[in-house]
Structure 1
């Protein structure tokens, strides 16, 4: 059992819904002081109210440096410091290459990849003070391992995050800060539900565990990376996908 989360100061970006909300809930339930970050104040505050346990909301756009500076400073002021950053904010609009505009490409890379960089950069001065700061980035199996039509920009951003964490982990090790990433497979969220029942059924059929994951599954993985028990783990990834990437074909599942 992880014993080192209660009382920790935690930021979760993109936390008003979906995986981010699940991560925030897992940390709040463990007694952490969670700051829910979203672009809209009303959504951030509403989610914080749902979580309880002293959670609070903060409005910030991860693509804006000044917002990320204000976010990190606010968490440190509210909680007396900052222990954990969960850089989760991300978007995944679908557009195939031939129809995708340069602006659409930039929007996804700015939010998912640049946003991770800016949030990490803003948090570093405060994480350094703890001597055991934790950074957990929400990546994906899409991009680093798998592909799906319409998500070249998303896949590129998620693969880029993994390149980022490996060097970031080296640079920040001297401060006792660890940097790791969770790579979700298909997780039941508002966004995924919007892809339709047929998509959800098809994806569940392709997963050895025969079900999609929950947001709490991702939160639990983030919780481990954020714990004192994971102090010797840095620059690493964990895939949470119910075994989705394992079969080499649907026939492999039929053999079950």
Structure 2
């Protein structure tokens, strides 16, 4: 990661130009997804997850499944999707799912298969229990267990149950998208910690493994993207005071970035298996393709 500019906020940037809100190159309103485009968003009841849902609606997704633990929030997002959706007769389903319960994830996958027998285009996973107790010796054990269960084990359960649905759709987008975090790289500073940062590192590594197992042989594209520093119910309540001034990024930015990745197909397949940021300028990112591929950048590595 030596090529990254970490900047004053501690958030690394690979591109010289960065954004805090949706910009023309990735604006989902400028996109029209294919008829019958299907997406399942887990963790969609608020914030970044809700932004992902409305972004796909604005881009013309025909079939949207919203999943999460809070069905009341999901119902509100469903109404937003229907109001802003570009596709005629847009279908939005709401299903309760707790990522830490295997049977819940299995049920969600079964309902998705029943609703979309031809397969799924995109699975977007927005899982993130945010805990910022800085010192290991002060960290409650149940926080470690719960955060790991959501951020890592939950990602595993989703991959296990949803990859077959993504691969089943003929000429589908075959996209497994994870809301990751640049905090997965942190070992010092006010938000470096043993629960959130380390579990997000494990999530990133799992995404890399998923790419290696299914990209070349089956065409699965796996993207792990930092959404920016977004003010939310969780981040406002749990972030250290010295970090809160950096919570200035739009909750819709990550969704717009995911839509952009969905529409580019094989043109951005080379980004699969890498840690990305929704804040990075996609024009500059594409310009640096040869450098990224040749040096296998934006991956976890041991330098000897």
| Pair 1:66–1:198, CA change in 2 (3 A) | closer
Measure how far apart 1:118 and its partner are: 0.7
Q: Work out which of the residue numbers 141, 155, 158 in structure 1 matches 2:200.
A: 158
For this pair of structures, how many residues does the alignment match?
A: 236
Measure how far apart 1:78 and its partner are: 1.9
Measure how far apart 1:220 and its partner are: 1.4
| Pair 1:17–1:146, CA change in 2 (3 A) | farther
Measure how far apart 1:11 and its partner are: 0.9
Tell me which residue corresponds to 2:17: none
1:30 and 2:53 aligned: no
Measure how far apart 1:150 and its partner are: 6.4
Measure how far apart 1:145 and its partner are: 4.7
Measure how far apart 1:31 and its partner are: 1.6
Tell me which residue corresponds to 1:207: none
1:48 and 2:82 aligned: no
4-13 or 117-126, larger mean C-alpha shift: 4-13
| Pair 1:73–1:184, CA change in 2 (3 A) | same
Measure how far apart 1:187 and its partner are: 1.4
Q: Report matched runs for 1:94-113 at 5 Å.
A: 94-96=132-134, 97-113=136-152
Tell me which residue corresponds to 1:73: 110
Q: Is the 8 A contact 1:15 1:21 kept in 2?
A: yes
Measure how far apart 1:119 and its partner are: 0.7
Q: Work out which of the residue numbers 185, 188, 197 in structure 1 matches 2:231.
A: 188
TM score, norm. by length of structure 2: 0.70
Q: Deviations over 1:83-123 (max 9, x none)?
A: 11111122102323222122210100100111111111110
Measure how far apart 1:76 and its partner are: 2.5
TM score, norm. by length of structure 1: 0.82
Measure how far apart 1:167 and its partner are: 1.5
Tell me which residue corresponds to 1:224: 260
Measure how far apart 1:201 and its partner are: 6.2
Measure how far apart 1:126 and its partner are: 1.0
* Partner SS state of residue 138, structure 2: coil
Whole-angstrom CA distance in 2 between matches of 1:197 and 1:109: 21
Q: Work out which of the residue numbers 10, 16, 41 in structure 1 matches 2:39.
A: 10
Unaligned regions of 5+ residues in structure 2, if any?
1-29, 83-89, 282-304
Q: Work out which of the residue numbers 103, 122, 127 in structure 2 matches 1:89.
A: 127
Tell me which residue corresponds to 1:142: 183
Q: Is the 8 A contact 2:31 2:60 kept in 1?
A: no
72-81 or 120-129, larger mean C-alpha shift: 72-81
Unaligned regions of 5+ residues in structure 1, if any?
205-211, 244-256
116-125 or 216-225, larger mean C-alpha shift: 216-225
Tell me which residue corresponds to 1:250: none
